[in-house]
Structure 1
Amino acid sequence: MRKEECFYLGKIAKKFSFKGEVLIYLDTDEPELYENLESVFVEHNKHLVPFFIETSSLHKGDFLRVRFEDVNTEEDADAIVGNSIYLPLTMLPKLTGNKFYFHEVIGFEIEDKRLGVFGKITSINDSSAQPLFEVLNGEVEILVPMIDHFLVKIDRENKKVIMDLPVGLVEMYL
């Protein structure tokens, strides 16, 4: 499985017991969707390696307590603590309406109700307090706040994000 075919689910945060159990931090709003997984991909040396789950249970909200097959000691667990966890994109629940996954809109055109199409979404910057669409308009990068109030429609069929942006937001880049 290639990383491009997967989504980031979380990270093995720490050991839980002396029998090789670990706690996985789940980077999701709905951790209960991932409570009964059969397997996950663990990133190890830049490769995704399948790990099969013997038992799992939710632990304090955002954590999943997991016992993997063939991880039976503290030393085995130490070897995977800190590694990222991935699942195939096909396991993502389908979203409808104006809800979307960040990876889903990369490559979509972005349109303002007033200005029309003004670029293509190249990535999403979620490292700040407010996530931003990074939009390319020719050689110019435009940063557009991902605010629900501005979002009019996610048009999956035509691969377009339609927004109603404040006057001047886009123009200040052009």
Structure 2
Amino acid sequence: MSFTKIGIIKKDKYSKDLIEFTSSTKNNTTIKSIDNFILKKNGERYSIKFQIKSSEKNKYLLEINSESKKFVEELKGVSEIFIKNENLPILENDEFYNDELVECNAIDENEIIYGRIIRVIDSSNGSILEIENKEKTFLVPFNESFIINVDIQNKKITIKNIANLAEI
């Protein structure tokens, strides 16, 4: 069975019964179409049922089902959450899941390869690509100021000024 990371969760600082969820997809339909996700803890996978209490952009406040609370109560810090691939909605042609970016080549406008994406980091300010080349790893914000084109089919992402970014 295959899984796709859909975001991160952490305990809500104001309530012991709620958790904060930051989605790694901008597709709200994905999140609103599911009522459970997979939490990976100590190598085991647990299905967590929830209800969305509120949302703003890609951030959600979730109420956890009473049966699932025991798994969430022990959370410390931030935890990644997943969904079964079979439960993912089909996206539009110009949309993709962050996990699909991993292993893509990071290229410039002339198709020169500067490395490959090894990880997508979710932050409160958006996603960040971690790119690895022979010499080092470097970070590039995943936003329209840097990203020119994403070609999932051919596993390449065109990045503006990547030569300069790779030298920092």
Q: TM-score range by the shorter chain?
A: 0.5 to 0.7
Q: Any idea what SS the aligned residue of 2:93 has?
A: coil
Equivalent residue, structure 2, for 1:40: 37
RMSD: 3.7
Say which is worse superposed, 130-139 or 146-155, in terms of deviation: 130-139
Alignment of 1:12-91 (within 5 A): 13=11, 22-28=17-23, 33-35=30-32, 37-51=34-48, 53=49, 57-61=51-55, 62-69=60-67, 77=69, 80-83=72-75, 84=79, 85-91=81-87
Alignment of 1:120-135 (within 5 A): 120-126=116-122, 131-135=127-131
Larger Rg: 1
Q: How many residues align?
A: 156
Closer, same or farther: CA 78–118 of 1 in aligned 2, 3 Å:
closer
Percent of paired sites with the same residue: 19
TM-aligned CA deviation for residue 102 of structure 1: 2.7
CA distance in 1, matches of 2:11, 2:166: 44
CA distance in 2, matches of 1:135, 1:33: 27
Does 2:97 match 1:101?
yes
- Tell me the TM-score normalized by structure 2: 0.65
- Tell me the TM-score normalized by structure 1: 0.63
TM-aligned CA deviation for residue 157 of structure 1: 1.6
AA aligned to 2:87 is M
**Cα-to-partner distance string for 1:9-62 (whole Å, 9 max, x where unaligned):** 443736x79xxxx434222256675456454334343311235x4xx5432332
TM-aligned CA deviation for residue 79 of structure 1: 5.6
AA aligned to 1:140 is K
Do the aligned residues in 2 keep the contact of 1:106 with 1:122 (CA within 8 Å)?
Answer: yes
Does 2:151 match 1:155?
yes
Equivalent residue, structure 1, for 2:112: 116
Do the aligned residues in 2 keep the contact of 1:114 with 1:164 (CA within 8 Å)?
Answer: no
